[in-house]
Amino acid sequence: MSKVIGTAVNRKDGYAKVTGTATYSAEHDVPGLVHGVVVTSTIAKGRIKAIDTREAEKAPGVTAVFTHKNAPKVFKPSNNFMTSKIYEARLPLSDDQIHYAGQIIGLVVADTFERARYAAHLVKVEYDAQKPTIEAKNAVFKEAPPQMGEEFKFVKGDVAAGMAGAATKLEATYTTSTELHAPMEPHAIIAQWQGTDALTVYEPSQFVALSQRTYAELFGLPSEKVRIIIPYLGGAFGSKAFPWPHGILAAAAARQIKRPLKVVLSRRQVTANAGHRSETEQTVRLAAAADGMLSAIAHEVKSSTSPVETFTEPCTSVTPAMYTAPNLLLNQELAVMNIGTPTFMRAPGEAPGMWALESAMDELAWALKLDPIALRLKNEAKEHQRKGLPFSAKHFADCLRVGAERFGWKDRPEPRSLTRDGKLIGWGMAAATFPGFRGKTSAKVRLLPDGSVHVLTSGNDMGTGSYTVVAITAAETLGVPVEKVRVEMGDSQLPDGGLAGGSQMTASLVPTVMKACQDILKTANCTTGTEACAALQKSGRAAIEASASSAPGDETKKWAFQSWGAHFCEVTVDEEIGRLRVTRWVSVMDVGRIINTKAAASQVRGGVIMGIGQALMEECHFDPNTGYPVVYDLATYHFPAHADTPRIDVAFVGEPDLNFNPAGVRGVGEIGITGVSAAIANAVHHATGKRLRSLPLTPDKLI
Ligand code: MOS
């Protein structure tokens, strides 16, 4: 047996990415291409009274202008996550109504991008404007409707009774800002029709097979007539799972003009039209006995959605998995505001949810004069309180113990007692968690006589390392060097490789690839790939091939699958100028078996860096007058650079979670960000004595 699984393997796609030969959506060389630029609304609410496209149509190079008056035909998809899914339920240009600033109200097509962009400015629009709802303080919050089949409200016992007799009580409200996905690659599409009944789409997708079915439904075609090609994505974080309005409009317009059409959103358009994480306001109530045993937990959340789609940032999902109390109350409220549609963003719910919960646990620990690690261990959940199921594998205590050792946590002195170079020093910690998800996937594996292996699946690599994970799995199972494995992904003509989201690609795809490789050995009646190759050479055949699928089974009725972690950090605070630096970081994770130690640690580091962004910098307000986001590019939306990021020490504990899948992997994409902002705010409290409850922790809050 070669031992590739669990070693550090360089990215299969690394060379192509650093040399610029990796082809992203907007870069495919499609002959005869024309360019589209979207026209967007300058008001946030109302209707289009008149739209004049005459001047734009006469501009040089312009071949078509689309508005709601001549909107190209699309059908309503079923939009249910199974057969199809679009981000915004309202189809583009479907009427004259305006729901948010930046909403797409037209598309100008020309022979060059510059000419299309120029002509887009010539479209004249008159509006009947109404007063939009832009700020949460003016919004009407109502009970959030069920999401993906689950109610938000959950009541166990009686929180009021659990609070009443408690020795120590805490009630605190924590807020987070609107956050942007800000992927390095902006949203883009090239839509190319073959006649009017076959479509090729080059567009980022985290779920290639679903994107194929969705475009098929949008145009009334069988899925086989739609091909999605997306070998590389430049970051997604949840914002590139399904088609947005610009993609739908581009594909529809391309059919009508009978030319391949490219639409690339500007950074400003990406900000307004392609998702964000809603701001949240979370109130946590905790009650505990003097020994730290919790008697009540309440977690109540407000977030917002757009008028054209319902999405609730599911912050309370973490609470019933983390800590047990006999009395537990969860509830979420949602307001409709005139801003673009919010959606899934790395650890949707878990990232802001853990900010509130893990800040509150720290506050409670200080109030009880207990070590925050001891408080967490005392109350850790043995079962998932909503699912009523035990955790399949849980090594949370090991995360805390190993993390504390690596960091040197013991003997933490009183707040405001550590200084260095005239700055205050603080230590903080917080837990991390993310559910284990797994989906159905299929793949095909071919063993060739020269000993090389070819793996084919539509599942794709959004930058997380899926190419490499698949190659490692095939190399390990067939006993061939990883360099001999070629992986093809991100094409809907390949077997359905499932969703790159919910941190599930590895848990979904690795068991499938293992199975296909084992089938090859069975077919060849050999125990290794080398033997199988020799047999293949003798037989004179071109290849041995196997297709396999795998899917979750009954285990989800027996177990709750959840990953665990702990973050420890040091910050320095210069109170004179409000400067906060993160100077030391340790993360310890229990995510089941690790396939690629290098990529897995990188995923955790990426999550921590994104969490540092959430904690310190990422902030997006909407102008109450125009409704437009006041930040709109990678210069105005701040996130951490290398200089803002310390060395991040990552360690893994835990064991293969074989109840979950035969590979024992749970996935590692999202857990890294959870708990990070709380660990930082907890460290700031230790440094300064100040409890900050509103993210981001900008200098003005630290002076
Ligand atoms: Mo992720 S937010 O599941 O892409």
Residue 670 is among the residues annotated as catalytic for this protein: yes
- Ligand 1 atom nearest to CA at 240: 4
Answer whether CATH 3.30.365.10 is correct for domain 14-21+439-551.
yes
Q: What is the 3-state secondary structure (H, E, C) of 335-386?
A: EECCCCCCCCCCCCCHHHHHHHHHHHHHHHHHHHCCCHHHHHHHHECCEECC
CB-based contacts of 630, cutoff 8 Å, min separation 6? 620, 621, 622, 623, 636
Strand ranges in 465-595 using DSSP code E only, listed in sequence order: 485-488, 544-550, 562-574, 579-590
Q: Percent of the chain scored above 70 by pLDDT?
A: 100
- Asked whether 206 lines ligand 1 (CB < 6 A), one says yes
- Compute, in degrees rounded to 10, the torsion defined by CA atoms 549, 554, 559, 562: 30
Per-position b or e across 592-604, b if 16+ CB within 10 A of its CB: bbbbbeebbbbbb
Closest CA to 57 of 49, 47, 48, 67: 67
The pLDDT tens digits of the residues spanning 381-401 come to: 999 999 999 999 999 999 999
The pLDDT tens digits of the residues spanning 23-38 come to: 999 999 999 999 999 9
For a substitution probing ligand 1, which of 344, 437, 461, 563 has the most ligand atoms within 8 Å of its CB? 344
ipTM of this complex prediction, to 2 decimal places: 0.97
The pLDDT tens digits of the residues spanning 531-553 come to: 999 999 998 999 999 999 999 99
d(CA 246, CA 258): 18
Average pLDDT over residues 659-686: 97
**Is residue 258's pLDDT more than 60?**
yes
- Asked whether 607 lines ligand 1 (CB < 6 A), one says no
**Is residue 529's pLDDT more than 90?**
no
d(CA 622, CA 611): 22
- Other beta carbons within 10 Å of 494: 20
Cα angle 310-313-316, degrees, rounded to a multiple of 5? 130
**Is residue 528's pLDDT more than 90?**
no
Q: According to the model, what pLDDT value does residue 411 have?
A: 81
- Other beta carbons within 10 Å of 541: 11
Give the pLDDT band of residue 1 (cuts 50, 70, 90). very low
Give the pLDDT band of residue 475 (cuts 50, 70, 90). very high
Q: Which CATH number fits domain 32-131+184-235+240-273: 3.50.50.60, 3.90.1170.50, 1.25.40.10, 3.40.640.10?
A: 3.90.1170.50
- Asked whether 238 lines ligand 1 (CB < 6 A), one says yes
**Is residue 147's pLDDT more than 60?**
yes
Q: Which CATH architecture has domain 142-179+276-436+558-701?
A: 2-Layer Sandwich (3.30)
Asked if 529 and 453 touch (Cβ cutoff 8 Å), the reply is yes
Q: According to the model, what pLDDT value does residue 56 have?
A: 98
Output the CA 497–ligand 1 centroid distance in Å.
16
Q: According to the model, what pLDDT value does residue 412 have?
A: 87
The pLDDT mean for the chain works out to 97
**Is residue 72's pLDDT more than 60?**
yes
**Residue 100, SS3 per DSSP:** coil
Average pLDDT over residues 664-678: 97
Looking at ligand 1, which residue's alpha carbon is closest to its atom 4? 238
6 CB-contact burial (10 Å; exposed 0-12 / middle 13-18 / buried 19+)? middle
- Asked whether 346 lines ligand 1 (CB < 6 A), one says yes
d(CA 431, CA 667): 17
**Is residue 470's pLDDT more than 80?**
yes
Average pLDDT over residues 201-215: 98
Instruction: Say which amino acid occupies 674.
Output: T
Cis upstream peptide for 449 (omega within 30°): no
Output the CA 466–ligand 1 centroid distance in Å.
15
Strand ranges in 69-120 using DSSP code E only, listed in sequence order: 97-98, 104-110
State the pTM of this model.
0.97
The pLDDT tens digits of the residues spanning 488-507 come to: 999 999 999 999 999 999 99
Average pLDDT over residues 294-309: 98
Closest CA to 439 of 339, 552, 357, 334: 552
Closest CA to 697 of 611, 604, 633: 611
Output the CA 694–ligand 1 centroid distance in Å.
24
Residues of the chain with CATH 3.30.365.10: 14-21+439-551, 142-179+276-436+558-701
φ and ψ at residue 549, rounded to 5 degrees: -130, 155
Average pLDDT over residues 84-106: 98
* Bridge partner list, 88: none
Q: What is the largest CA-CA distance in the chain?
A: 80
Report the phi/psi class of residue 34: left, alpha or beta, with left for phi > 0 and alpha for psi in -120 to 50: beta
Average pLDDT over residues 458-486: 96
**Is residue 288's pLDDT more than 90?**
yes
Single out the catalytic residue among 333, 363, 618, 670.
670
The pLDDT tens digits of the residues spanning 597-648 come to: 999 999 999 999 999 999 999 999 999 999 999 998 999 999 999 999 999 9
Residues of the chain with CATH 3.90.1170.50: 32-131+184-235+240-273
The pLDDT tens digits of the residues spanning 673-690 come to: 999 999 999 999 999 999
Token representation of residue 165: 């007799």
- Ligand 1 atom nearest to CA at 206: 4
**Is residue 2's pLDDT more than 60?**
no
